[in-house]
């Protein structure tokens, strides 16, 4: 999500709610629970379920950008709406690499592979996007469901129409 140009706009991570994680369970069980949440997120991406995405982000959500800037919830909502409106096809597959319970929530390292076809709103041309991003996400439990509160890209690679982008 923190790449330049139309590819950056295409790489969205969103989160859907899941049952609360009881304390005292194994780390493997936590990782499996978080993987289930990301699988539900992937299905929502595939459907371009905008309302589902936005409903499960914490209202205090922050995306930590590489330049030490932050993108807040309202900017995320606007960006997500634009991406969904320009996507004719989108597919996401996420793999939880690690999940660690903290006193305040759960920190997850996740690899997301996203592919899609997007229409440039300025010139109407379509672009094929293929990218992978590794993020560190922080989740909080809000009244029995998990909400994504903070996201930071650790690495990203991708192509637009087969050409590598940074």
Strand partners for 90: 116
Number of domains, the chain: 1
Residue 149 has pLDDT above 60, yes or no: yes
CB 115 within 8 A of CB 90: yes
The residue range of the domain holding 68 is: 5-165
7-52 pLDDT tens trace: 333 333 222 233 444 444 568 899 999 999 999 989 999 999 998 8
Can you give the CATH number for the domain in which 15 is found?
A: 3.10.450.50
Cα–Cα distance measured from residue 90 to residue 58, given in angstroms and rounded to the nearest whole number? 24
Candidate from 7-16, 62-71, 108-117, 130-139 with smallest mean pLDDT: 7-16
What pTM was computed for the model? Answer: 0.81
Q: Measured between alpha carbons, how far is 55 from 97 in angstroms, rounded to an integer?
A: 25
Q: What is the mean pLDDT of residues 77-89?
A: 91
């Amino acid at each position: 999500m923190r790449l330049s140009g139309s590819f950056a706009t295409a790489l969205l991570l969103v989160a859907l709610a899941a049952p609360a994680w009881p304390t005292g369970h194994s780390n493997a069980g936590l990782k499996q629970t978080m993987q289930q949440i990301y699988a539900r997120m992937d299905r929502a991406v595939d459907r371009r379920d905008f309302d589902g995405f936005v409903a499960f982000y914490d209202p205090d959500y922050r995306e930590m950008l590489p330049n030490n800037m932050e993108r807040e919830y309202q900017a995320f909502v606007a960006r997500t709406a634009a991406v969904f409106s320009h996507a004719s096809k989108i597919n996401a597959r996420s793999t939880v690499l690690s999940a660690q319970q903290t006193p305040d929530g759960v920190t997850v390292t996740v690899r997301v592979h996203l592919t899609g076809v997007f229409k440039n709103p300025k010139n109407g041309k379509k672009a094929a996007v293929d990218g992978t991003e590794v993020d560190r996400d922080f989740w909080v439990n809000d009244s029995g469901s998990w909400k994504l509160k903070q996201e930071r890209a650790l690495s990203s690679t991708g192509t637009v129409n087969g050409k590598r982008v940074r």
